[in-house]
Amino acid sequence: MTSGKLVTVLAAAVVSLLLYACSPAIGYECFIKEGDSEGNLYSFTVPFDDSLATYSVSFFTRIDAPGDKAPEKALGLDVTWTSPSGESAGETVYMDPSKEVETYRSGVVPGETGDWKIEVRVQDAPQGFRGLGIMIRTDGTR
């Protein structure tokens, strides 16, 4: 390889690395251990900073069930969203306890940018419940 081609290849590699390093983060992830929650309430502060992005929101957990058999009863989650301006809305959803990660919502477009508070109250946590986590991924832009 000639020195001119080598310089071109190295320059392309450096530019690629710089573009990758300057790209925005693609998500947020947080896990709260069972003993670190306020009773059965898990509170997450989630940054939704891109007004043009759509997001996927998933919950994940770890349940160390006796005999490694997943609980048969769905895990009830009371989910409350509070916007940066203080407006809130809630719903109850159910998570399949045999899955460690489950998509809660996809295509989420927050009504305002900033830090949202997502509180999740776990109903009747099964024996061996180790905590609850949340994953936010950017799906793309609208």
In a domain, 12, yes or no: no
What is the rounded CA–CA span in Å between residue 139 and residue 56? 6
CATH number of the domain enclosing 51: 2.60.120
Q: What is the pLDDT, as a whole number, of residue 23?
A: 43
- For 17, residues 6+ apart whose C-beta sits below 8 A from its C-beta are none
Residue 134 lies in a domain: yes
Residue type, 133: G
pTM > 0.85: no
Domain hosting 41: range is 26-141
Angle formed at CA 58 by CA 53 and CA 62, multiple of 5 degrees? 155
Contact 34, 131 (CB under 8 A): yes
Residue 1 lies in a domain: no
* Inside any domain, residue 5: no
- pLDDT the model gives residue 8: 61
* pLDDT for 1: 61
Count of domains in the chain? 1
With left for phi above 0 and alpha for psi between -120 and 50, is residue 115 left, alpha or beta? beta
Report if residue 2 sits inside a domain: no
Provide the pLDDT for residue 4. Answer: 63
| Residue pLDDT, tens place only, 114-123 | 999 999 999 9
Residues of the chain short of pLDDT 70, as ranges, are: 1-26, 67-68, 70, 142
Question: Which pLDDT belongs to residue 68?
Answer: 65
